Amino acid sequence: MSRNASLQPILPGSTLGVLGGGQLGRMFVHQAQAMGYFTAVLDADPTSPAGLVSHHHVQTGYEDPGGLAELARLSDAVTTEFENVPAAALATLAALRPVSPAASAVAVAQDRAQEKAHFVACGVPCAPYAVIETADQLAAVSADPSAAPGRPKQASDPLGGSVGAHLLPGILKTARMGYDGKGQVRVKTAAELATAWESVGKVPCVLEKMLPLALECSVLVARGVDGTMVHLPAQHNLHRDGILAVTEVYDGNLPPGIAGQAVEAAKSVAEGLQYVGVLCVEFFVLQDGSLVVNEIAPRPHNSGHYSQNACDVSQFELQVRTMARLPLTQPRQHSPAVMLNLLGDLWFAQGDAEQTPPWAAVLALPGTHLHLYGKREAKRGRKMGHLNVTGPTPEVARATALNAAALLGIAPF
Ligand code: ATP
Ligand code: MG
């Protein structure tokens, strides 16, 4: 049996490595250290949030062969906190150390076209779409959507429409490297679509039909190397300007039946990838009540941060457990929770004067838990931290979160 296929746990005292030094890596490092592991981070930025708190920090790019070799030398197992690491980097590491999730799973999450093909293969409904990689494909979509190469089979059309259903109005999304709504253009007409494709540099894209959303939700699943799967309760997410703003998790946060369907769909997606690690699956609930998968993230996710304070096992502990092949037990949410994202905008008063958000006043509210990522510079739209709010009931958690939002200058929800 090869080293990678061994089921032996990697015990505390060992070193866990992570590719990427952002806030997700930082919270992973904190959790791994709390459980008695040493940590190693690979990130070129000497002040990266995770690098600042890790035992070891390899300061190279993701593709630097020397840096990857050093991370492997330091680490007993490696994970990633960033889906846009080159799959080749994960493959290089996997030849030396156990790596989870696998490069093949990350490659699917990195590419919207592959991701959607995977949803279709798993029988999980996604938005009607077309792949646009060539001028011919663009012309075909514009002229006759039913003839467009890359159209999914009818079974994947959540609206039950015909394969020829028009994809406009739609959203053109670059196949790779998009996040927080970047790399997306909303288009109403064929002419707008052509201009949009030019504006993104004619890189491979998917055109998705614009769907009538009622709400958005997500599910975090963790799958062990032995196939055991556990999940966190389904999250209700509010986005503003393409960025997650608020996550609410408590009984009744979603319409009846949706949470169960979302958990089952998320598990199918993870199983289909033979996934090892923490996987976030994002969904849309449409106005007709149907559930449609949006995209996946092969790592802990912003919408799962509430689990740090509201669940007995957080998404970062699940990440540690899966990569270290420790047992997975079903997490239990012990408190209703609301998470507020703290964007850099909160560090600017009117007229752009810099300010410090009123932390003391916020923390005077019972059930507030502040998480800041140690980023040196606040910028508008930059994720600087989050506030988890827990309460004895959903009503109390919501009321406290609304009070905190008012103090911080976050619009009510
Ligand atoms: P993130 O990395 O923050 O999750 P992203 O850049 O990967 O975002 P998506 O999740 O694809 O982008 O889309 C961002 C938001 O745009 C969604 O959360 C949703 O609000 C809206 N959106 C995306 N696709 C559609 C669609 N087909 N119909 C309606 N709204 C959509
Ligand atoms: Mg998204």
Kindly list the domain boundaries of the chain, sorted by start residue.
Answer: 3-99, 128-209, 213-408
238 lines ligand 1 (CB under 6 A): no
Beta carbons of 14 and 76 less than 8 angstroms apart? yes
Give SS3 for 315.
helix
| Short-list 28, 26, 49, CA closest to 323 | 28
> Backbone phi, then psi, for 323, in 5-degree steps?
-75, -30
168 lines ligand 1 (CB under 6 A): no
Question: How many angstroms is it from 295 CA to the middle of ligand 2?
Answer: 6
Q: Which fold has domain 3-99?
A: Rossmann fold (3.40.50)
* 378-382 mean pLDDT: 95
Q: Ligand 1 pocket: which of 207, 216, 284 to mutate (most atoms <8 Å of CB)?
A: 284
Q: Which fold has domain 213-408?
A: D-amino Acid Aminotransferase; Chain A, domain 1 (3.30.470)
* 162-170 mean pLDDT: 67
Minimum-distance ligand to the CA of 239?
Answer: 1
Please give the Cα distance from 338 to 145 (Å, whole number).
41
Class of domain 128-209: alpha beta
Confidence band (pLDDT; 50, 70, 90) for 144? low
* 66-72 mean pLDDT: 98
Beta-bridge partner residues of 344: none
Beta carbons of 57 and 43 less than 8 angstroms apart? yes
59: number of Cβ within 10 Å: 16
Beta carbons of 282 and 296 less than 8 angstroms apart? yes
177 lines ligand 1 (CB under 6 A): no
Reported pTM: 0.93
Dihedral sign from CA coordinates of 58, 64, 66, 69: positive
Confidence band (pLDDT; 50, 70, 90) for 87? confident
